């Protein structure tokens, strides 16, 4: 893998982890069951894509960013 490919994959991982964190946060506080179901499905797809992109970098012994799940609390009350 060349540096341009690795950079693009890493950038996609960064976007993917942000989308995962935001989807997780909103799924916890939304009162709309349809929206919650959509966000939970989205989280599943995001985790699948994150695994695929991560494996590409790990094959070449490159750094993989961590997901932001550890920064999300268990709160179900919207902060705003």
Whole-prediction pTM: 0.76
pLDDT value at residue 46 = 92
pLDDT value at residue 28 = 87
Average pLDDT rounded to a whole number, residues 41-65: 92
61 vs 66: which has the higher pLDDT: 61
Give CB contacts under 8 A, 24+ apart, made by 18-26: 18/68, 19/46, 20/46, 20/47, 20/50, 20/67, 20/68, 20/69, 21/67, 21/68, 21/69, 21/71, 21/72, 24/68, 24/69, 24/72, 25/72
Whether 33 shows a pLDDT value over 80: the answer reads: yes
6 vs 76: which has the higher pLDDT: 6
6 vs 1: which has the higher pLDDT: 6
């Amino acid at each position: 893998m060349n540096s341009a490919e690795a950079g693009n994959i890493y950038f996609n991982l960064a976007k993917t982890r942000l989308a995962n964190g935001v989807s997780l946060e909103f799924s916890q506080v939304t009162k709309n069951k349809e929206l919650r179901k959509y966000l939970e499905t989205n989280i599943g797809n995001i985790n699948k894509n994150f695994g695929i992109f991560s494996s590409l970098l790990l094959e070449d012994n490159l750094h993989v960013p961590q997901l932001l799940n550890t920064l999300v609390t268990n709160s179900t009350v919207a902060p705003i």
